[in-house]
Amino acid sequence: MTTGYLSLVLHAHLPFVRHPEYPDFLEEDWLYEAISETYIPLLIAFNHLRDEGVKFRLTMSMTPPLCEMLTDSLLQQRYVNHLDKLCELAEKEVERTRKEAPQFHAAALMYRSHFNECRDVFERVYQRNIVRGFKELQDAGYLEIITCCATHGYLPLMSNETAKRAQIQIARENYIKHFGRPPRGIWLAECAFNPGDDKYLHEAGIKFFIADAHAILYGTPRPRRGIYAPVITPENVAVFARDTETSEQVWSSEIGYPGDPDYREFYRDLGYDAQDFDYIKPYLHDDGVRRNIGVKYHRITGKVDLHLKAPYVPEWATNKAAGHAADFLANRRAQAGHLHYTLGRAPLILAPYDAELFGHWWFEGPQFLFYLFKKLHYDQDDIQPISPIDYLTIFPENQRQTPSASSWGAEGYNRVWINAETDWLYKHQHAAERRMVELAERFPNADGLLLRALNQAARELLLAQSSDWAFIITTGTMVQYAVKRFKDHIHRFTRIYEMVNANAIDESWLAEVERRDTIFQELDYRIYFPIA
């Protein structure tokens, strides 16, 4: 008998980073690391489950910028180059550790197998397009892939309704391009919601979105079933809220699974640890500065200094992943049994996470998911893994509510994205948003060079709107890059705006900008025609 439903939701997102003007660019590594450590390992785990006949069900957002990068031929080739270097290094490391560091040899063998399997999956299985792999799993009913705001734009901090609507409509069209049908759900960037934004979701045919717990808990009226059933907004869009208990079990730095002593230590890396600089230099960037390269030989060990970390033992970590999957399931069964009695119907326990937690930050995360779904399939029958869209089919009647303004950032609202460090961004963003609407209204039927210019202006605005720049500035990581990216996109937008007004478009300059910022080739600037 089903006493509860579990909906795991992975949010896969990276900002659009593509620099053809340089032969080698550090921030592109964000994508390459995520492919090797998260996206391909997830595909491998999911395909093993499918091949074993395990009936698993998972929801996963794949944001438009991520899909655009994963299908870009330049970035695909650069990833192959990156992976070739890692395969070469891993081969050398097997020999080196056999002779010089036997305590790391098992891990070296694991890395050689891992990187070679990544290359096989990327090149042979999917011909460099791993979006196809996720689409195939969706078409077979295992995944429910949802979209996100076009460039992860933070809707509550946009200046006008047209700009908000464009983020949703552009995301919808991009999803259709990559997955062959309209999206049924959306992960609003940073789970940020303001009452009234649901009208743009309804217009785009979106059936549900993901929110943090307080969106429902503080909504009007108060929720009868708390966060364990969706509510329906005034625009008939379902809202599913994060279960805080489940999140803490994985996210918490104190009690969460990823902090287990046997798991891989993220902050010890061969890029820094290799004693022979000439040996490791070919695998660094052209500047020769020591950085993480993804080969890590130590386990978390405990609360000890980095230099005291013990060697990583892959077999121990795998056993822990299986044990933690069993513990997670036992907790969900107990939780669902209690809630079923209290609520009077089977609860939905929604567990949303950043996808990059699984593999990149928590190296054993994909193994955890693999074992969890096997245990759900073989070891019990009272918890059923489903997607939010499935729950709406099982329980079509749900409470109507206006959810509260909310986000999943610190303190639950907007402070992470607008504060003393970032408030300067918005006067420039808002001016560009108003100007884009103005351009669309003035030139409703552009063609030729003017059409190219207006479409590129829309791309530059969208890229400037990415919530990633404010987040990076607030958290103090790669601040210089985030500031430069925002300023570059605002500068390019402004120059296009001024050239259009002067009827003097510099075609050679525009062509160079088009070559760099290639996102959304299907884009039509008329999406910014003002809302009536």
Rounded Cα distance between 508 and 164, Å, is: 31
Residues 387 and 240 sit within 8 Å (Cβ to Cβ): no
How far is residue 29's CA from residue 99's CA, in Å, rounded to a whole number? 31
What are 468's two structure tokens? 């990633």
- Alpha carbons 57 and 65: distance in angstroms, whole number: 24
As beta bridge partners, residue 143 has 58
460 carries an active-site annotation: no
Report which residue type is found at 88: E
SS3 state at 353: strand
Q: In this structure, how many other beta carbons lie within 10 angstroms of the beta carbon of residue 397? A: 6
> Catalytic: which of 136, 245, 354, 488?
354
Q: For 460-517, what is the HEC assignment?
A: HHHHHCEHHHHHHHHHCCCHHHHHHHHHHHHHHHHHHHHHHHCCCCCHHHHHHHHHHC
Q: How many CA atoms lie within 13 A of 176 on its CB side?
A: 13
Out of 72, 190, 265, 364, pick the active-site residue: 190
Q: Which two tokens stand for residue 294?
A: 């993804």
Ramachandran bin of 210, using left for φ above 0, alpha for ψ from -120 to 50, beta for the remaining angles = beta
CB contact set of 212 (below 8 Å; sequence gap of 6+): 191, 241, 242, 406, 407, 408, 412
Closest by alpha carbon to 298, among 363, 355, 354? 363
Yes or no: say if 439 and 454 are a contact pair by the CB < 8 Å rule.
yes
Contact 458, 528 (CB under 8 A): yes
Q: How far apart are CA 197 and CA 192, in angstroms?
A: 10
Q: Which helix (H) or strand (E) holds 91?
A: helix 73-100
Tokens of 169: 């409509």
245 labelled catalytic:
no
The continuous run of DSSP H or E covering 459 comes out as: helix 448-464
| Cα three-residue angle 34-35-39, rounded to 5 degrees | 90
CA-nearest of 8, 2, 63, 60 to 31 is 63
The torsion region of residue 236 among left (phi > 0), alpha (psi -120 to 50) and beta comes to left
What are the catalytic residues? 190, 354
